[in-house]
Amino acid sequence: MQFHLNGFRTGNPEIAEPSEQDKTSFNPDSLANEVDVLVIGCGPAGLTLAAQLAAFPDIKTQIVDQRPGPLLLGQADGVACRTMEMFEAFGFSERVLKEAHWINETTFWKPDDTCENKIARHGRIQDVEDGLSEFPHVVLNQARVHDFYLEVMRNSANRLQPHYSRRLLGVHVDGAVCSAYAAPSHPVTVSLERIDPAHQGQIETVKARYVVGCDGARSAVRQFLGRVLRGDSANQAWGVMDVLAVTNFPDIRMKALIQSAHEGSIVLIPREGGYLVRIYVELDKLKEDERVAGRNITLDRLIAAAQRILRPYTLEVKEVAWWSVYEIGQRLCDKFDDVPDADVAHRPPHIFIAGDACHTHSPKAGQGMNVSMQDTFNLGWKLAAVLLRRCAAKILHTYSAERQGIAKELIDFDREWVKMLSAPLKSSTDGEGVDPAEVQRYFVKHGHYTAGTATKYKPSLISAEPSHQHLAKGLVIGMRFHSAPVIRLADAKPVRLGDASKADGRWRIFAFADAQAPSARTSRVRGLCEFFADSPQSPVRRYTPATADIDAVIDVRAVFQQGHRELNIDAMPQFLLPTKGRYALRDYEKMFCPDLKGNTDVFDLREIDRELGCVVVVRPDQYVANVLPLDAYADLSAFFAGFMLPAA
């Protein structure tokens, strides 16, 4: 982590200097009546968005929730590898790694072939395949994930905090906005009701440039937009409990998928802290529009069901930390913003929905929290770029286009997975049903999917056609930048290359060098640096304000092929040693070399053309946007010109 750039400071470097906005206007008790972005809902989607926007002191963000305070218990717990990569961008992955339970292996249980009233283990696999991510799959209570985001927000320059006990009453959009790109400055008016006893019934009004409904499966924002969650009627009741229990079930500290012959199935998730266990028990199928509350399912019934499924093993529940019974259907909204398809060319969106507000699915694939956070990680940088006038407002359309497609894939996957886990099992006596081995095969086959690393955005104005993909076959356009170990040239520190991409709204360009020494006059990477530094067509020059640091908008990093001891830092292109901040201090963290000692050469791992090298453009949400030859200067300029606005 870099700090002291603008002068030496004592204390925790994660706490930003307070901004002018914080000094003058933020009041945790009363709402600002005019903001840039109003976020409704402090779940994972809302907090990811608020934490992302908190990185920009010039953007005024407000986040509200009807709850009286932060979530303390329950809800989701699965944190996919891809989500951990995102947590690293927000700066708290290491704390999650320490506190969470790691899912290293998953076991599979089915009825014993010799006695179908007993379960027996039939499979055991590594949970995440080697090399898929530099981070593991972990589980940690959703409330703790919220805590980490809340801390990022509190430490930001604007000291952002949620306003609790506010319930959304209404959303109104200025009529003029429905027909033009040139909208009034704060076109959305939101009314909220205070529901804390001291202010019960008080109505507050907020005008916003953008409103984002992260208000869960029963989203009021979605209803105001007139959008609906559509899905099949196969609604399912689920029981879930977080328990401290004594058991002789041997895989109690493994993730286990357990299918009994006649008593249903369990997904068992060991939890953080070494003792707690989450047990998901599949309960009744519900009729269309039936609510699970009407079934009066008790905790005792849940425990009894779990005990029956686990036979011959015993389960003695000592304490239940949290339990819930809820219904879930696979449902999806057809668009995640307020602009009908027919109007996309005429006006940008001003209201968005994210997370469970636009897609719901079963907890069996452990995706709800992960996908919700990825929704708003996708949206946050786009809103910031438009508000800071770095990008044209048309990029906001890519949010719904990209995330709706991903949600649809998720729902299709979830539907298939749930069907498989709920179907009767094939046994030695009954040839009908699903083969348990098939369940395991399906789980392995979709490992990339559940790890969150299979997301692939289609070509768009911010994701190029793969014309030069052969130059870096392992860094696929539209997919997340697959990090790899490297050595930082200036201080020989082993680092993860992907960690360079922080949640700060900046674009990254990784220049993977050609085979020549970077000091050679004919080096292609040197030529690229000269283009960035000197050419009027350079995206770095065109889009960076004259008063800002040279890497404030586009952060260029280089990866050389030579070992770090073979290169002389004095001979490197000066563009890769930029001077920054009030003292024009030199930034030494732009250059990397392969980790030859660790035998993990990034050029081999990511199949980068050693002769030619290449340029890899990475979006602020860590997705690969383009792969180009090192000397494709015109293509690089044209790509950015498609959506960026020249700096004022």
Ligand X SMILES: Cc1cc2nc3c(=O)[nH]c(=O)nc-3n(C[C@H](O)[C@H](O)[C@H](O)COP(=O)(O)OP(=O)(O)OC[C@H]3O[C@@H](n4cnc5c(N)ncnc54)[C@H](O)[C@@H]3O)c2cc1C
CA distances from 558 to 90, 276, 381, 486, 522 (A): 23, 45, 23, 11, 16
SS3 82: helix
131: exposed, middle or buried (Cβ count in 10 Å: 0-12, 13-18, 19+): exposed
Query: Which residue, 142 or 235, has its beta carbon nearer to ligand X?
Result: 142
Q: Which residues pair with 320 in a beta bridge?
A: 243
CA distances from 352 to 59, 191, 220, 513 (A): 17, 17, 12, 40
Q: Which of 348, 349, 363, 539 is catalytic?
A: 363
In the chain, the amino acid numbered 571 is A
Q: In angstroms, rounded to a whole number, what is the distance separating the alpha carbons of residues 302 and 282? A: 9
Query: Which residue, 362 or 398, has its beta carbon nearer to ligand X?
Result: 362
Interaction site with ligand X (CB under 6 A): 40-46, 64-67, 74-76, 78, 142, 167-168, 214-216, 220, 240, 324, 326, 355-357, 363, 366, 368-369, 372
Query: Which residue, 111 or 355, has its beta carbon nearer to ligand X?
Result: 355
Q: Which of 166, 227, 271, 488 is catalytic?
A: 271
φ, ψ (nearest 5 deg) of residue 487: -115, 130
237: exposed, middle or buried (Cβ count in 10 Å: 0-12, 13-18, 19+): buried
CB of 565 to ligand X, least distance (A): 48
Is residue 77 flagged as an active site residue? yes
CB of 76 to ligand X, least distance (A): 3
Query: Which residue, 191 or 537, has its beta carbon nearer to ligand X?
Result: 191
φ, ψ (nearest 5 deg) of residue 594: -65, 155
Q: Which residues pair with 511 in a beta bridge?
A: 558, 615
Q: What tokens appear for 186 in the block?
A: 């704060």
Query: Which residue, 422 or 535, has its beta carbon nearer to ligand X?
Result: 422
Query: Which residue, 218 or 586, has its beta carbon nearer to ligand X?
Result: 218
Distance of CA 337 to the CA centre of its chain: 19
Q: Which of 36, 65, 77, 242 is catalytic?
A: 77
CB of 78 to ligand X, least distance (A): 6
Q: How large is the C-alpha radius of gyration of the chain?
A: 26
Is residue 348 flagged as an active site residue? no
372 Cβ neighbours under 8 A, 6+ residues apart: 43, 44, 45, 48, 214, 354, 355, 356
CB of 215 to ligand X, least distance (A): 4
584 Cβ neighbours under 8 A, 6+ residues apart: none
Of the candidates 516, 472, 224, the one whose C-alpha atom is nearest the C-alpha of residue 351 is 224
Of the candidates 437, 415, 441, the one whose C-alpha atom is nearest the C-alpha of residue 425 is 437
Q: Which of 280, 457, 543, 623 is catalytic?
A: 280
Is residue 215 flagged as an active site residue? no
CB of 10 to ligand X, least distance (A): 36
Query: Which residue, 270 or 366, has its beta carbon nearer to ligand X?
Result: 366
CB of 449 to ligand X, least distance (A): 15
Query: Which residue, 133 or 372, has its beta carbon nearer to ligand X?
Result: 372
CB of 199 to ligand X, least distance (A): 15
Contact 357, 222 (CB under 8 A): yes
Residue 625 DSSP one-character state: E
CB of 281 to ligand X, least distance (A): 11
Q: Tell me which residues are annotated as active site.
A: 77, 271, 280, 363
